[in-house]
Structure 1
Amino acid sequence: MDEVNQKKAKLALIYMAIIMALVFSVWQVMLNNFTVEKAGFSGFDIGSLQSVREIPGFLAFTAVFVLIILREQTFAILSLGLLSVGVLITGFFPSNAGLLITTFIMSVGFHYFETINSSLTLQWLPKNQAASFMGQVIGYSSAAGLIAYGVVWLLYKYFEMDYIWIYTIFGSLGIAMVVHLWFLFPKFENVVPQRKKLFLKKRYWVYYLLTFLKGARRQIFMVFAAYLMVEKFGYTLDEIAMLFLLNKAANIVIAPLLGKLIEAIGERKALTIEYVGLIIVFVGYAMVESALVAAILYVVDHLFFGLAIGIKTYFQKIADSEDMAATQSVSFTIDHTASVIIPITFGLIWMSDPSLVFYAGAGFAVLSLIASNLISRNPEPGNEFIWSAKKVIA
């Protein structure tokens, strides 16, 4: 890809990330309050809903078959459109069954987009720029989320707008932006033709393991950390929106710096920092009795997400160029193997003792710390993990 098209491709990736952040942020920030206030959800109900939300992620491996008939870029744009439709209709169905259906529709779009977007990013960017660019994209996404949370807070607190209208406004905005995106950018050619079949490679096993553990940890954060704020500490929608605003504001500044940090110190050290921090955060969740301390833990937890870029750039460094699309599809399924199981099973644990959920999260972080230290100091094909030096395992 020449320099001009690479610049356009970067802008396209940023625009797609902004659309996703705007629309999904609204769904996410209102979910817990919407389910509790409008649908009367319990901890088990929210766990069940989140398990359904993760089913499309578990089925993300099917993306490689869709690519037989659709270009990756086209597939990503259509997925953003489906995400927007799912968010638009959410407010019209404030019931258990209704939310299961609308959430599934939204999630299909979200997970297919995330799968293809990861593949395109790794294909379109040089290895020496990937981490810093991903950090920048998180910054732009955070700015878009910041705007979304701010508007939600304003519409709810000062205009007393009902959930149904907020969901409708942002879903419609997402659809309009997707149409604009479709006509704004040219169709970019992939640098290397991608393999359109499923496979696993032994030499990628550390990447697969890190991906699986990341999925388990993420679910505990996304499902139960936010729910802790509402159920235990009584945070209202406007207070949750302000907390999310703080998260996004911090990420605008911190995420690009984390991308540069990964390029400077390498994936192994960066991931070690992340997992040590997460162990402390999860133990903190289990023990916290202060609403303010819980909020601080939530913000710190969210900031560590930026260092997870290191898992993707580690794969980019060790992988064959033609493996990007298929492996990203498979990796999303690996990521969501735990994601489908954890919300509903941990929802039952939550009803008995919420602290056990977060102690389990600390356990996953410990396992991640061990796995991250299997990464070679200079990962490349044939030197993927610490005892693989210059010995390629097919």
Structure 2
Amino acid sequence: MINSSRLEKLRTPYFMLILMAITIQIGFASWSAILNNFAHDQAAFTGADMGLLQSVREIPGFLAFTAVFFLFIWREQTFALISLVVFGFGIAITGMFPSVTGLLITTFIMSLGFHYFETMNQSLQLQWLPKATAAKQLGTILAASAFGQLLIYGLVILLWNVLALPYIAMFYVFGGLTLGLTLFMILFFPQFKQPVIQNKKLILRKRYWLYYALTFMSGARRQIFVVFAAWMMVEKFGFHVHEVAFLFIINVTFNMLFARRIGAAIGHFGERAALTFEYVGLILVFVSYALVNNAFLGASLYVIDHFFFALAIAMKTYFQKIADPADMAPTAAVAFTINHIAAVFIPVIFGIIWLYNPAYVFFAGAGFAVISLGLSQLIPRHPEAGNETLLVKRNT
């Protein structure tokens, strides 16, 4: 049995960040693995319907700046846990409403909790983790969340392919798991002290402009993967729930095994090198998506595409190095809004384009990656306050 002294060692901010990362992935990974097939089989979705749904899902992300105002009521830790409750509830009731309207409503509820949580979570990560070890620790958190995803995708396959549970029961199970783990965290962890009192107002600083630009482009190209690459697996190649889940298992196994090393590599080589590698790879992947007609090759590209997500750690550590410590919470909220400006309209507009020619969607994704690549070259080798971009360096 675990004695009280060992339990106390687990009541740390770092362990809570790990557990929160696992919890959010239990809900989101299961929802993502089931959603496309549920929408296709039960609600007769088209590509345009899926684009509309994903646009609705991103609206709470666009409204993430309002998280700052809730900090007048709750501390960030409390607000993060409340958001997880809303998130889990939205997932649990999804299967009860197998229609376009029903899915739009339940997705909005789920997404509201998800995006408020992610806003608070990013702020807590940048406050609680020391700069010297943040990249490696973020890699460890990513690896832990990948382990949680791995278990969930295995459970999805078991419940669907072996036990043949209906969709409604699947959503009950995974929404319930999310809520149960959140309740455990509420009861187990104390309220941790904040290292720096956060500004409780919206902040836009000129010297953060490159971070804002990279964040905006990240939101634009992320939609190509989240919405249309996943939809291609179902609509074009006919993948079933357990097959989509198996693809996700491959993805998260990689993260579980290598995310910590990727974080350490980012700390060693720097953010510019990591993002350069990511964006060059994404250009090649998106162009290949547009041309692929083979299910195996399409699935392989999907796995390769997901690999580059781990490199997004570099954007977090870049901002941590250049930012005022009191700006973490308000800037996380503003950044999520910026990230979702494109995310609100791209799915619905590109969903219409998809009906005309899916290849155009992926060529546009390659274009987004090209712009991101150009922006990333402005990051200094050693970014810090006063040396946020190479343009600043050249002018000093």
Asked if Structure 1 and Structure 2 have the same fold, meaning a TM-score greater than 0.5 normalized by the shorter chain, the answer is: yes
Identity of aligned residues (%): 54
Deviation at 1:389, TM superposition (A): 2.4
User: Is 1:116 equivalent to 2:120 in the alignment?
Assistant: yes
Q: 1:137 aligns with which of 137, 141, 146?
A: 141
Q: Match for residue 106 of structure 2?
A: 102
- Pairing 1:376–2:380 present: yes
Does residue 221 (structure 1) correspond to residue 225 (structure 2)? The answer is: yes
Q: What secondary structure, in the 3-state scheme, does the structure 2 residue paired with 1:292 have? A: helix
Question: Of 22, 31, 35, which residue of structure 1 is paired with 2:35?
Answer: 31
In the alignment, what sits opposite 2:320?
Answer: 316
Give the equivalent residue in structure 1 for 2:263.
Answer: 259
Alignment of 1:129-208 (within 5 A): 129-208=133-212
Q: Where does residue 236 of structure 1 map in the other structure?
A: 240
| SS, match of residue 68 in structure 1 | coil
Deviations 1:336-367 (A, max 9, x none): 00000100000000000000000000000000
- Counterparts of 1:280-295 in structure 2, within 5 Å, are 280-295=284-299
Indicate whether 1:44 and 2:73 are aligned. Answer: no
Structure 2 partner of 1:126? 130
The alpha carbon displacement at 1:377 in A equals 1.2
- 2 CA distance for matches of 1:285 and 1:324? 36
Secondary structure class of the residue paired with 1:376:
coil
| Aligned pair partner of 2:343 in 336, 339, 347 | 339
Which aligned runs of 4 or more in structure 1 are off by greater than 4 angstroms? 4-7
3-state SS in 1 of match to 2:393: coil
SS in 1 for 2:238: coil
Q: Is the CA contact 2:95–2:169 (under 8 Å) kept in the aligned structure 1? A: yes
- Report if aligned partners of 2:272, 2:377 keep a CA contact under 8 Å in 1: yes
Question: Is 1:9–2:13 an aligned residue pair?
Answer: yes
- 1:158 Cα deviation (Å)? 1.1
* Aligned-partner SS, 2:196: coil
Cα deviation, residue 254, structure 1: 1.9
Give the letter aligned to residue 41 of structure 1: F
Which ranges of structure 1 fall in alignment gaps of 5 or more residues? none
Distance in 1 of aligned mates of 2:394 and 2:67: 32
Q: Which residue of 2 aligns with 1:248?
A: 252
- Post-superposition Cα deviations, 1:190-214, rounded to whole Å, max 9, x if no partner, equal 1011000012111000000000000
Shift of 1:74: 0.2
1:192 counterpart letter in structure 2:
V
Q: CA deviation at 1:5?
A: 8.5
Q: Which residue of 2 is the match for residue 389 of structure 1?
A: 393
**TM-score normalised to the size of structure 2?**
0.97
Count residues in correspondence: 389
1:289 positional shift = 1.0
Q: Which residue of 267, 278, 281 maps to 1:277? A: 281
Does the 8 Å contact 2:11/2:189 carry over to 1?
A: no
Q: CA deviation at 1:390?
A: 9.0
Indicate which of 56, 64, 70 corresponds to 2:74: 70
Return the offset for 1:176: 1.3
Is contact 1:255–1:303 with CA below 8 Å preserved after alignment? no
1:111-167 CA-to-partner distances (Å, cap 9, x unmatched) read: 000000000000011111111111111111111111111111111111111010011
Distance in 1, Cα, partners of 2:11 & 2:280: 36
Alpha-carbon separation, structure 1, partners of 2:201 and 2:154: 43
- Give the structure-1-normalised TM-score: 0.97
2:353/2:360 contact within 8 Å kept: yes
**Cα deviation, residue 266, structure 1:** 0.3
Q: Distance in 2 between matches of 1:165 and 1:328?
A: 35
Residue number in structure 2 paired with 1:301: 305
Look up the match of 1:54: 58
Contact 1:5 1:188 in 2 (8 A): no
Relative to structure 1, is the Cα distance of residues 243 and 333 closer, same or farther in structure 2, using a 3 angstrom cutoff? same
Helix, strand or coil at the partner of 2:263: helix
Residue 382 of structure 2 aligns to a residue whose secondary structure is: strand
1:326 maps to what in 2?
A: 330
Residues in 1 aligned to 2:301 and 2:255: alpha-carbon distance in whole angstroms: 15
Amino acid at match of 2:223: Q
- Contact 1:52 1:100 (C-alpha < 8 Å) held by counterparts: yes
The aligned amino acid for 2:67 is A
User: Which of 86, 89, 96 is the aligned partner of 1:92?
Assistant: 96
> 1:10 and 1:38 mapped to 2: Cα distance?
41
Cα offsets for 1:58-115 (capped at 9, x unmatched)? 0000000000110000000111111100000000000011000000000000000000
Map of 2:215 onto structure 1 = 211
Q: For residues 242 and 6 of structure 1, do their structure 2 counterparts lie closer, same or farther at Cα, with a shift above 3 Å needed? A: closer
Mapped contact 1:87–1:168 kept (Cα < 8 A): yes
